[in-house]
Structure formats: structure tokens, C-alpha cells
Amino acid sequence: DSGVTQTPKHLITATGQRVTLRCSPRSGDLSVYWYQQSLDQGLQFLIQYYNGEERAKGNILERFSAQQFPDLHSELNLSSLELGDSALYFCASSVMGLADEQYFGPGTRLTVT
């Protein structure tokens, strides 16, 4: 158990819909990262927040957005969903930055039908 929790574990929704994925970091970690893992794209970094502020951005689509709240939990919002958004979405947390070990949650499997 990494100490990072993600909800829900599974999510099935239709194209065009909007969903919210939630992540609670390990106690004491201030950074949260979001990743997308799919068969065709592999594991891709989406975005990082540190103590509520966006710090690094990857290939995150404009339909996707994230935020980190004062209690340090984070949410990833996916809107206007397409079939290609079906993937495993991981959240990770670390103390601060790139040099710190990232602890990964178990992931949320999103299926868009």
C-alpha cells in the first residue's frame, strides 16, 4: 500500500459525458501528479500540482483539467469524453519535486462507451 488513494476504482460512462477522478496523497506529501496509461500511448504524464499550484504540465488535453485543494487532495476532471479517453488514470504523490520518489495510487480505470 503506497498510501495514495484514488476513487473510484472503476468508472464506466458514455461519450460526451464529464467525470471527476479523485486522489488523496500520502500524508506529508505536497505534490500530486496525474498520469494516463493506455495501450496505444503508454504511460504519459499529464500534470503536477505542488501545494495547490500547478508546477509542470505534460500532454494534457484542453478537455481535461485538474486542481489541488487546500487539504492537498486533487481532482482530475475529464469532459466531452471520447472513446480514446478510455485508460487507466494514476495519481502519484511526492514530497516536492522531480528528485523525490513518487508514490503511485492503484489507479482509476475509465471506460468510455
* Of 56, 61, 73, 75, the one binding another protein by CB under 8 A: 56
Sign (positive/negative) of CA torsion 102, 104, 108, 112? positive
Selected from 48, 64, 87, 110, the binder of another protein by CB under 8 A is: 48
The answer to the question of residue 2 lying near another protein (CB under 8 A) is: yes
Cα–Cα distance measured from residue 53 to residue 86, given in angstroms and rounded to the nearest whole number? 27
CB 58 within 8 A of CB 44: yes
Q: Does 104 bind another protein (CB under 8 A)?
A: yes
- Per CB under 8 A, the list member of 44, 67, 79, 86 interacting with another protein is 44
Residues making up the chain, counted from first to last: 113
- The one-character DSSP state at 66 is E
Candidate ranges 17-25, 61-69, 76-84, 95-103; the one touching another protein (CB under 8 A): 95-103
Measure the CA angle with vertex 27, ends 26 and 31; round to 5°. Answer: 60
Binding site for another protein (CB under 8 A): 2, 4, 31, 33, 42-45, 48, 50, 55-58, 90, 92, 96-99, 101-102, 104-107
